[in-house]
Amino acid sequence: MSLAPVELARGERFAALHATLEARLKILPDKPEEAIDATLRCLWQMAAGRAMSVDAALEAALPPLDDAAEARLQALIDQRLAGVPLAHLSGRQRFMGLEMLAGAAALIPRKETELLGRAALDRMRDLAAGDEDLRVLDVCTGSGNLALALAHHGPRARVFGADLSADAVQMARRNAAHLGLERVEFRVGDLLAPFDEPAFHGRVHLLTCNPPYISSKRVETMADEIRGFEPRLAFDGGPLGIGILNRVIREAPRFLAPGGWLAIEVGLGQATATVKRMQGSGTYRTVEALDNAMGEARAVVAQV
């Protein structure tokens, strides 16, 4: 069956734009979902007035575009080629199956963080089998992606999140409303300080954290698409990149209940030292590094 003229023209237009993006757009390693085809489909949907993540765009049919939408598409492509993150243009990012809001106020959720999310969810489910009042904290919560994913997949848990950035917390609250998860409480403050009260001391069953773990010097060399558009606070882990990470490891035991878990994301090459540090602390009785699909240790879980 031959294609109708409008479908043929749409296919030719898509192919031409695809070739342009393929020649000029650099895909960052930490955003593997943003392949050329997926990126163009996401921008095409945006031009048609349909805000969705790049993952969702791959699942949707391409709508026809009128002249005004064609102009919007070209403007979106120009912005993307100028370095504006795709998730900032679409205002959406999928994380652990959830279509989340995304923007400049917080780190764009990365697929790599789903390794931490799945590990935390596994332990949360094990804990839920024997505790009616499961309490979960997520610090450095950013857009709230990890806290909200855990709340969505573990509806029995009482989930709290915190971030030093008031703008990030505002976005996390917007995401909670967007997902119908207003029961998740977000607070503004430095790491665990917002929960430094008797109700949380020794009563947290799972504590998660995706901390800033890039050294200050290396932040300066990151791609402009990251350094120029996402908050530095979400990346800069101090001179060696481990300042926040060490604080979380040191402060977490005061909040964790007996048998509770700390689950953290670490930078490439940081897992071995992190595991040794935790094992040598005398506080954590089980410590394990978790590998991603490429065999890289990118998360650590530890039980007190």
Total domain count, the chain? 2
Q: Is residue 102 part of a domain?
A: no
Distance of CA 182 to CAs 34, 152, 173, 174, 186, Å? 30, 11, 7, 9, 9
Do 129 and 26 share a domain, yes or no? no
Main-chain dihedrals φ then ψ at residue 42, nearest 5 degrees: -65, -45
The structure tokens listed for 209 are 């954290």
Distances in Å between the alpha carbon of 77 and those of 30, 31, 69? 20, 17, 12
- Distance, CA of 4 to CA of 11 (rounded, Å): 11
How much is the mean pLDDT over the chain? 95
Mean pLDDT for the stretch of residues 263-273: 97
Name the pLDDT band for 1 (thresholds 50, 70, 90): very low
Which structure tokens are listed for 226? Answer: 């990251």
Of 56, 90, 124, the residue that ends a domain is: 90
Domain edge (last residue) among 28, 58, 90: 90
> Does residue 106 fall inside a structural domain?
no
pLDDT tens, position by position, 235-246: 999 999 999 999
Torsion of CA 261, 109, 18, 223, to 10 degrees: -100
The tokens for 135 are 């309490």
Q: Write out the two tokens for 156.
A: 């029995």
Please answer whether residues 127 and 154 qualify as being in contact, where contact means their C-beta atoms are separated by less than 8 angstroms: no
What pLDDT is stored for residue 5 in this prediction? 55
pLDDT (0 to 100) of residue 48: 97
pLDDT digits (tens, 9 = 90+) for 107-142: 999 999 999 999 999 999 888 776 668 999 999 999
Same domain, yes or no: 136 and 244: yes
Residues 13 and 160 in one domain: no
Q: Are residues 288 and 155 in the same domain?
A: yes
CB 42 within 8 A of CB 86: yes
150 and 264 fall within a common domain: yes
Q: Fill in the amino acid letter for 261.
A: W
Query: For residue 2, which amino acid is it?
Result: S
- The reply to whether 188 falls in a domain is yes
- Output the pLDDT for position 131: 60
- Distance in angstroms (rounded) separating the CA atoms of residues 180 and 178: 6
Answer yes or no: is 178 within a domain. Answer: yes
Q: Is the pLDDT of residue 228 over 70?
A: yes
Task: Determine the residue type at 109.
Answer: P
Which structural domain, as residue segments, surrounds residue 128?
111-303
**pLDDT, position 2:** 42
Please report, for residues 165, 173, 231, the alpha-carbon distance to residue 212 in angstroms, rounded to integers and kept in the order given: 13, 21, 11
135 and 82 in a common domain: no
Q: Are residues 116 and 82 in the same domain?
A: no
CATH of the domain at 176: 3.40.50.150
Q: In this predicted model, what pLDDT tens digit does every residue of 184-201 receive, in sequence order?
A: 999 999 999 999 999 999
Structural domain includes residue 62 = yes
The residue from 32, 61, 90 where one domain ends is 90
pLDDT of 4 above 80: no
Does 103 reside within a domain? Answer: no
Mean pLDDT of the 89-115 span: 98
Q: Is residue 125 part of a domain?
A: yes
What are the residues whose beta carbons fall under 8 Å from the beta carbon of 6, sequence distance 6 or more? 64
Give yes or no: residues 118 and 239 share one domain. yes
pLDDT band (50, 70, 90) for residue 6 = low
Measured distance between the N- and C-terminal CA atoms of the chain, rounded to whole angstroms:
64
Answer whether residue 298 shows pLDDT above 60. Answer: yes
Residue 24 makes CB contacts below 8 A (sequence gap 6+) with 81
Band (pLDDT 50/70/90 cuts) for residue 105 is very high
If asked whether residues 147 and 28 sit together in one domain, one would say no
Percentage of residues in the chain having pLDDT higher than 90: 93
Asked whether residue 138 is assigned to any structural domain, the reply reads yes
**Selection from 79, 81, 62 nearest residue 13 by Cα:** 62
Per-residue H/E/C for the chain? CCCCHHHHHHHHHHHHHHHHHHHHCCCCCCCCCCCHHHHHHHHHHHHCCCCCCHHHHHCCCCCCCCHHHHHHHHHHHHHHHCCCCHHHHHCEEEECCEEEECCCCCCCCCHHHHHHHHHHHHHHHHHHCCCCCCEEEEECCCCCHHHHHHHHHCCCCEEEEEECCHHHHHHHHHHHHHHCCCCCEEEECCCCHHHCCCCCCCCEEEEEECCCCECHHHHCCCCHHHHCCCCHHHCECCCCCCHHHHHHHHHHHHCEEEEEEEEEECCCCCHHHHHHHHHHCCCCCEEEEEECCCCCEEEEEEEC
Q: Are residues 163 and 290 in the same domain?
A: yes
- 73 shares its domain with 179: no
Q: For residues 206 and 235, state if they share a domain.
A: yes
- The pLDDT assigned to 3 comes to 45
